[in-house]
Amino acid sequence: MKYFQLIWTALFRKKLRTVFTVLSLSAAFLLLGLLQAVNSLFAGSVEFLGADRLIVQARTSFTQPLPMRMMPQIETIPGVARVNHSQFFGGQYQDSRQQFPQFAVNPQRLFDTYPEWVIDKDQRANFISTQDGAIVGRELANSFGWKVGDIVPLNSFIWVKSDGSRLWEWRIVGIFDGKNQEWQDRTQLMYLNYGQFDEGRSPGARGLAGVFVARLKSPEDSQRVAALIDSKFENSVDETKTQNEQEFQLGFIKQFGDIGFMMNLISGAVIFTILILTGYTMSQAVRERIPELAVLKCLGFTDNRVLWLVLAESLLLCLIGAAIGMGLSAMLTGALPPNFPPLRTDQRVWLFAGCTVLGLALAVGLPPALRAKRLKIVDALAGR
Amino acid sequence: MNTSVSAEQQPLVEIRALTKAYVRGKQVVEVLHGINLDIPDGDFVALMGPSGSGKTTLLNLIGGLDSPTGGLLKVNGQRIDEFGSDRLAAWRASTVGFIFQSYNLMPVLSAQKNVELPLLLTDLNARERARHADIALQLVGLADRARHKPNELSGGQQQRVAIARALVSDPKLLICDEPTGDLDRKMADEVLTLMQQLNGDYGKTIIMVTHDPKAAEFARRVVHLDKGVLVDETTR
């Protein structure tokens, strides 16, 4: 701590240059924070999903439907508590920008397979008994201002009705919440009554399910039960691929490309650019101060102490830039309107930024620090 | 020429057959050739000689800024020619104060913070460091300039701040390399008078390299070097 003023004043020896470097670092860390918030959103959106649910899909692809008759067969497998079927609906509300996930499900079985959803008893009964009924998550309802009784028209880019139309109308009969904050944050989806969906679609598509959701009696049984399900349908026309919910969701996200890889690639490019810039600044700053560093050694500062002083200066520079950039990133993500994806500068993002600061400080600080450590007093004072 | 003190008096600086050679490309250039010199505690020695005579090299060796190629170099009873880099640094911090021709102050620090620099290596807390620095600045007559940065001070004042920095850790030995080289006559005399006081009143041993015969007049003893050997000595 007693060296802080020495480090601080050395850092701001050339104020304008340091301010510009800090601004560049801040911009880079703002971008990094936002990119990693997107990354974290995708990674975190599945991380909390329970291991006590299995998703059974067709072995070839989850876009390949499975016959409904498989549901009771899956339910008889030891370790399975309850099974539901689920079909991705792919509806657009008003225009293509207003997208949110909708699934056509069996309303009676939904809350057995997803006990994490909490809903009023009457609303639940209405969902079961209303052929064109739908329930929406609280956050989704709030973002569109929906309430029970509203009719929501959805234009499905997947499912055509038997009359050739793609426009489906759903009556909101309930609004559900999550059992805790984590699940509440996920209440941005809609469940549709399978009844209207199956009757309304073209006859050839009826009686088919997208995937089956099997809730297990014990999460420890996950691997064993998944293997049992797949072996039951092995060599049949409807071979299955069973995985836990987290693996399935990650696979689903990767349909759009490896988001994490892309975000990390761009983050890498940002870090590389800022590394070059900051590295140049640090080298320049130390080169200009060679006689001053030599004086410190004259006064009794050891080679290693001088090395640490330069490294600390590099760390301080990166920390200031990162703190400003990450602060802005946190403010921006916190101020996003409700109809935006729920980006957050969470612990994962801060950890990424922290590691980046350490790595960056070391990469840009070590070469000049080693130079400072090795400099010979006599040569440095003589300007050699 | 041998300039040893009498046998019963233990010198502060004891130099025997000291050599220093530099390697430049494929050539080995010997700068000092077997120097013998004793400097008693409390002495004020001026090292003089033409450029390239080896006086700054000798000063650097005595101050522990460089290591000799051969011979014996004992300061304050310690063979500093046998010290490693870290031990030499610790020894410099406790035993030697340095004063340079171009002052070598930290431009971003105030006079007081410049003077405090050597104390960062001690266990003193911030308040004690500030108090010691204040005393040192008072000693050089710059207490009222403590908050000023070097570029707000005249050359003579900067050199006095450098002297305060050299003094603040109370070293036995002051090493001065052309301390008045960048000053006009009036300021040079002020600085040299101050150094004379430090030698006379506070018992600091001073070794000063200078080209200026008037500056050398302030010393008790003048040692002349030429081509790496001691050629003459004058005691006042």
* Structure confidence at residue B7 (pLDDT): 45
Pair A298, A201 in one domain: no
Residues in contact with A285: Cβ distance below 8 Å, sequence separation at least 6, in sequence order: A10, A11, A13, A14, A17, A313, A368
pLDDT at A177 over 90: yes
Minimal Cα distance from B167: which residue of A? Answer: A299
Rounded to a whole number, what is the distance in Å from the CA of A324 to chain B's nearest CA? 25
* Structure confidence at residue B43 (pLDDT): 94
Q: Percentage of residues in chain B with pLDDT exceeding 70?
A: 96
- Smallest Cβ–Cβ distance between B104 and the set A5, A291, A376 belongs to A291
Structural domain that includes position A273 = 4-45+258-381
Minimal Cα distance from B58: which residue of A? Answer: A378
Minimal Cα distance from A289: which residue of B? Answer: B106
* Structure confidence at residue A97 (pLDDT): 66
* Chain mean pLDDT for chain A: 89
Instruction: Tell whether B55 lies on the interface with A, counting CB pairs under 8 A.
Output: no
How do residues B14-62 score in pLDDT, each as one tens digit?
999 999 998 888 899 999 999 999 999 999 999 999 988 999 999 999 9
Q: Percentage of residues in chain B with pLDDT exceeding 90?
A: 80
Pair A206, A68 in one domain: yes
A161-186 average pLDDT score: 90
Rounded to a whole number, what is the distance in Å from the CA of B66 to chain A's nearest CA? 7
Rounded to a whole number, what is the distance in Å from the CA of A378 to chain B's nearest CA? 7
Asked, for residue A103, whether it belongs to a domain, the answer is: yes
Asked, for residue A224, whether it belongs to a domain, the answer is: no
Residue A188 binned pLDDT confidence (cut-offs 50, 70, 90): confident
Rounded to a whole number, what is the distance in Å from the CA of B148 to chain A's nearest CA? 15
- Smallest Cβ–Cβ distance between A9 and the set B89, B100, B109 belongs to B109
ipTM score of the complex?
0.90
User: Which is higher by pLDDT, B71 or A40?
Assistant: B71
User: Which is higher by pLDDT, A227 or A382?
Assistant: A227
Which residues of chain A lie closer than 8 angstroms to B113, CB-CB? 5, 9
Which residues of chain A lie closer than 8 angstroms to B86, CB-CB? 302-304
Residue B2 binned pLDDT confidence (cut-offs 50, 70, 90): very low
- Smallest Cβ–Cβ distance between A378 and the set B66, B98, B126 belongs to B66
- Smallest Cβ–Cβ distance between A299 and the set B60, B107, B117 belongs to B117
Least confident of A23-37, A182-196, A251-265, B155-169: A251-265
Pair A285, A352 in one domain: yes
How do residues B158-179 score in pLDDT, each as one tens digit?
999 999 999 999 999 999 999 9
- Smallest Cβ–Cβ distance between B65 and the set A2, A5, A298 belongs to A298
Minimal Cα distance from A304: which residue of B? Answer: B86
B218-233 average pLDDT score: 92
Show which of A217, A244, A267 is a domain's final residue: A217
Pair A197, A168 in one domain: yes
- Smallest Cβ–Cβ distance between A3 and the set B106, B107, B120 belongs to B120
Pair A32, A77 in one domain: no
Check B65 against A378: CB less than 8 A apart: yes
Instruction: Tell whether B65 lies on the interface with A, counting CB pairs under 8 A.
Output: yes
Asked, for residue A292, whether it belongs to a domain, the answer is: yes
Residue B9 binned pLDDT confidence (cut-offs 50, 70, 90): low
A301-313 average pLDDT score: 95
* Chain mean pLDDT for chain B: 91
* Structure confidence at residue A127 (pLDDT): 95
pLDDT at A96 over 50: yes
Whole-Å CA distances, A322 to A14, A27, A313, B70, B83:
20, 9, 14, 52, 43
* Structure confidence at residue A212 (pLDDT): 94
pLDDT at A46 over 60: no
* Structure confidence at residue A13 (pLDDT): 86
Rounded to a whole number, what is the distance in Å from the CA of B236 to chain A's nearest CA? 31
Minimal Cα distance from B94: which residue of A? Answer: A300
Residue A44 binned pLDDT confidence (cut-offs 50, 70, 90): low
Rounded to a whole number, what is the distance in Å from the CA of B157 to chain A's nearest CA? 19
Pair A202, A64 in one domain: yes
A379 vs A273: CA distance, rounded Å: 34
A206-213 average pLDDT score: 90
Rounded to a whole number, what is the distance in Å from the CA of B7 to chain A's nearest CA? 32
Pair A287, A333 in one domain: yes
- Smallest Cβ–Cβ distance between B90 and the set A2, A300, A376 belongs to A300
pLDDT at B193 over 80: yes
Check A302 against B90: CB less than 8 A apart: yes
Asked, for residue A236, whether it belongs to a domain, the answer is: no
Number of domains in chain A: 2
Can you identify the CATH homologous superfamily of domain B41-66+92-235?
Answer: P-loop containing nucleotide triphosphate hydrolases (3.40.50.300)
pLDDT at A262 over 90: no
Check A12 against B108: CB less than 8 A apart: yes
Q: Percentage of residues in chain A with pLDDT exceeding 90?
A: 59
User: What is the count of residue pairs from A and B with beta carbons less than 8 Å apart?
Assistant: 66
- Choose, out of B62, B120, B123, the residue to mutate when testing the contact with A (most A CBs < 10 Å): B120
Which residues of chain A lie closer than 8 angstroms to B66, CB-CB? 376-378
* Structure confidence at residue B113 (pLDDT): 95
Asked, for residue A253, whether it belongs to a domain, the answer is: no
Pair A41, A74 in one domain: no
Asked, for residue A225, whether it belongs to a domain, the answer is: no
Pair A66, A204 in one domain: yes
Pair A19, A63 in one domain: no
How do residues B122-159 score in pLDDT, each as one tens digit?
999 999 999 999 999 998 999 999 999 999 999 999 99
Asked, for residue A330, whether it belongs to a domain, the answer is: yes
Show which of A161, A187, A217 is a domain's final residue: A217
Pair A36, A65 in one domain: no
Least confident of A1-5, A31-35, A294-298, B61-65: A1-5
A210 vs A208: CA distance, rounded Å: 7
Which residues of chain A lie closer than 8 angstroms to B161, CB-CB? none
